[in-house]
Structure 1
């Protein structure tokens, strides 16, 4: 999965006076980037609250803005975490699918693609910490050996975390292959001033 959804096709708009619904939508499109991201988070939260009700699961919704994208997390107390983990699934597969559904729900209301990130029961935050440790270990080996190292295939979110950690450690990384076998390659090349942007994947 590449962490993005296909753009919704636009349909011809008839040459008529704007409706009340159209007027309502206009301020939303012209809002600031922060306002737009906050709106995405609110829409996602409403969608996820309905899903939790349907699934008869308890959880609180946290909304934030991180790295230029809306971030929504479903959290529970320690006793409720095992139940929420059903929304994570093996290796985060259910979470990835739920994130795509949530993005589609947001896109359906805003008309724009979204890069919203979803976490459930702290799965992504825990995974992020382990990926940073992995990236640092790989960077140390690559610096020592002078040879590139290829990591196992991983989803777009995980590749992004690794790319950022590698860049912070002073090396360059890139992605290769096709989904779902796309992987990060860490190169024995130091980041130089004026170099192009680091690989961000998605």
Structure 2
């Protein structure tokens, strides 16, 4: 199988078919790598395709035993293809995260933060990048402002690469876990305040994943109810007493 490279997949295929003197009907085309325009000049790459000639053979009569054997082979081949596709998705996710790290690293350095970035792909829809640094406070920022901004930027970058279904979480020094516990306590404290005053309490603006913690913590409360108000990035949770 011959490999061809060009700025786009279509150009690579056209180039390969021309050089091999083939057309799409009598060739097998495998897209090894899609092209990327990059984001702010980072992550740009060409498309790569593999092309091979399809060799046709004359059909032959097969007996029942041979047919059963062929069916078993087809099922085994299908299972193998499924494994390859699953593995390819995992590899693609890991490659996207590595591109993301290459994008984030210079940004973090420009903030004056020395950090080592490690990643873990949890599943097909979720991955985590952890920053190992002695400057956690600067990286996190007040109320998580800096790390949340970096996380939003990271998600935008993944969307740009075509991985909008892959959610990313940035963390350092177990900040995310500690923040969740803080938000749960804030939810309970705010609920008591709303009941005591009889007035709705507006919390500071938060990203959606932090607002969800507040909503979840109070969703079964018989005394208060919650809803979100405003537009991102200034959307916040409102806690108010239920009217009985």
Distance 1:42 1:168 in 2: 41
Task: Give ranges in structure 2 of 5+ residues lacking alignment.
Answer: 1-9, 15-23, 35-47, 49-81
C-alpha displacement of 1:53:
7.2
Is 1:174 aligned to 2:174, yes or no? no
Moved over 6 A (4+): none
Distance 1:69 1:133, change over 3 A: farther
Contact 1:176 1:185 in 2 (8 A): yes
Q: TM (normalized to structure 1)?
A: 0.59
Is 1:20 aligned to 2:31, yes or no? yes
SS at match of 1:93: helix
Q: Give the aligned partner of residue 148 of structure 2.
A: 96
Contact 1:64 1:70 in 2 (8 A): yes
Matching residue within 107, 116, 121 for 1:59: 116
1:32-81 CA distance string (max 9 Å, x none): 9xx96895466325522664378383425242549x951413142xxx33
Q: Give the aligned partner of residue 121 of structure 1.
A: 173
SS at match of 1:158: helix
Distance 1:62 1:140, change over 3 A: farther
Q: RMSD value over aligned CA atoms?
A: 4.5
Q: TM (normalized to structure 2)?
A: 0.51
Q: Give the aligned partner of residue 199 of structure 1.
A: none
Q: Give the aligned partner of residue 136 of structure 1.
A: 188
SS at match of 1:72: strand
More strand by share: 2
Distance 1:63 1:158, change over 3 A: same
Distance 1:117 1:58, change over 3 A: closer
1:176-202 CA distance string (max 9 Å, x none): 112333211123349xxxxxxxxxxxx
C-alpha displacement of 1:111:
4.8
Distance 1:144 1:166 in 2: 16
Task: Give ranges in structure 1 of 5+ residues lacking alignment.
Answer: 1-12, 191-202
Matching residue within 129, 149, 166 for 1:73: 129
Contact 1:44 1:103 in 2 (8 A): no
Is 1:183 aligned to 2:239, yes or no? no
Higher RCO (C-alpha under 8 Å, 6+ residues apart): 1
